[in-house]
Structure 1
Amino acid sequence: MEDKLKIKISIADRVYPLTVDMSQEEGLRSASKKIDAMIKQFEENYAVRDKQDVLAMCALQFASQVEQKQVDNAIDGSEAIKRLQKINDLLFDYLEKK
């Protein structure tokens, strides 16, 4: 079993103590940096009065990216299935002729 680490992650000027697996530390730190960068971008580009509004927009942005990747993968997956079916049909036809 991996050792647990106690780390502190800062998001929107608040510190969150977490206990995580060592393998998760780098990803969590990277994610918190991306969130803070996105917060800064929203604050610079939009008239935002409340951190909660900015955090909600960040959550929406990240969630939409995840959803879009799932949609893209589903589309790519169906194309891959069609291609594999075509290859399978060609192989089947070839083997039948022998």
Structure 2
Amino acid sequence: MYYPIDLTVADKLKIKISIADRVYPLTIDPSREEGLRKAAKSIEAMIKQLEQSYAVRDKQDLLAMCALQFAAKSEQLVIDDSADVEQAKEQLNVLNLLLDKQLS
């Protein structure tokens, strides 16, 4: 009997990421490793900054504040991109009108 090898499982990488004094074992695609490690470093740096700036010592509170800042940054990027797209559409409409005028 033939059993095909599941390449998706065989191609996975097992790593450990440390965040807020806890280790999280992950099984990931190798292409995601660098991004995950950079994200963990960013979280650790933000936690350290928050600890120094505020009198918060509870890791749960620090992680919540960290999550809020990252989510806000992500949402702001979406808002900014949306505004840029709208501006580009308006400029394309103006150019289209000018071209129509010239071609008529």
* Range class of TM-score, shorter chain: over 0.9
Question: Aligned to 1:49, what secondary structure does the other structure show?
Answer: coil
Amino acid at match of 1:77: V
**Equivalent residue in structure 1 for 2:72, among 44, 54, 64:** 64
Match runs of 1:76-87 below 5 Å: 76-87=84-95
Any stretches of 5+ residues in structure 1 without a counterpart? none
Amino acid at match of 2:58: D
Any stretches of 5+ residues in structure 2 without a counterpart? 1-6
> Number of paired residues?
96
| TM-score scaled by length of structure 2 | 0.89
CA deviations over 1:11-67 (Å, ceiling 9, x no partner): 011000000001100000000000000000000010003100000000000000000
Superposed CA RMSD: 1.0
In structure 2, the partner of 1:88 is: 96
| TM-score scaled by length of structure 1 | 0.94
Amino acid at match of 2:28: V
Match runs of 1:1-98 below 5 Å: 3-96=11-104
